[in-house]
Amino acid sequence: MKSIIYNRVSTSEQNPELQINSCIELAKRLGLNDFEILQEKKSAFKDNIDREEFEKIRKAIYDNKLKNFIVWDLDRIYRNRKQLIGFFETCKAFGCKVHSVRQDWLESLNKIPEPFNEIMHNLMLQIMGWLAEEESNKKSERVKLAVRKEKGQKTKSYKGKTWGRRPINSDRLKDKVKELKQQGLSFRKILKHEEVYFYDKNKNKKKPSLATIHSYLKE
């Protein structure tokens, strides 16, 4: 495995094949004719979700089996700039070049001879780091400005929605926690019990936090 074309598309994108075709054209211009195409349909706004195909790529990089990674846009990798920087650093460490259709300036960096390519690569990462920090600070300020808090009231957004994580709503879980406590189990043993779990909005089976256990037993 020497080269991979990767594309992450959201459910709202109607023509992902156009992006793939652009990546194929870029690969051919670079003289990369032996490549594999990996594509998956995942949310473009959530970087913490599982991406099976992308994990295959990460493993190939760590195993020194991937030398060229091609995407239509860098946001297909990560939208979060700090995560993107981390990925670039990994690629650099394992000798994998990143190519992008929409960020064709990357090819200028890839063509710079040693040792200047190392200097320019580090400069690029520093610039991306500054942009990531600036973006993070702006986001933090927007969040603060959006919060509305009054004494004795729950914190709310400017739209009036309650701020913070939604409480777990499961009568079965609550009853089981109280039952196990009556049996003399400690908080931590209750948390580890096989019948203490709930399903989130995506139907994923999860364990409650220790704080949730405490709240149920205070009622």
Look up the CATH number of the domain holding residue 104.
3.40.50.1390
In a domain, 78, yes or no: yes
In a domain, 152, yes or no: no
Of the residues 77, 93, 111, the one at which a domain ends: 111
- Burial-class residue 115 by CB neighbours within 10 Å (0-12, 13-18, 19+): exposed
In a domain, 146, yes or no: no
Distance between CA atoms of residues 208 and 191, nearest Å: 7
183 and 95 co-located in one domain: no
Domain carrying residue 28 = 3-111
The total of structural domains in the chain comes to 2
107 and 207 co-located in one domain: no
106 and 186 co-located in one domain: no
Angle at 79 between CA 91 and CA 113, to 5 degrees: 35
Residue-level pLDDT at 44: 47
For the chain, where are the alpha helices, taking DSSP H only? 16-29, 52-62, 81-93, 105-111, 116-146, 171-182, 187-192, 210-218
In a domain, 94, yes or no: yes
- Digit-by-digit pLDDT tens for the chain (219 residues) are 689 999 988 766 557 788 999 999 999 999 998 999 999 887 645 555 678 899 999 999 999 999 999 999 888 888 777 788 888 888 888 989 999 998 888 888 778 787 777 777 778 777 776 665 666 566 666 666 666 555 555 555 555 555 555 556 678 888 888 888 888 888 778 888 888 888 877 777 888 877 788 778 776
177 and 106 co-located in one domain: no
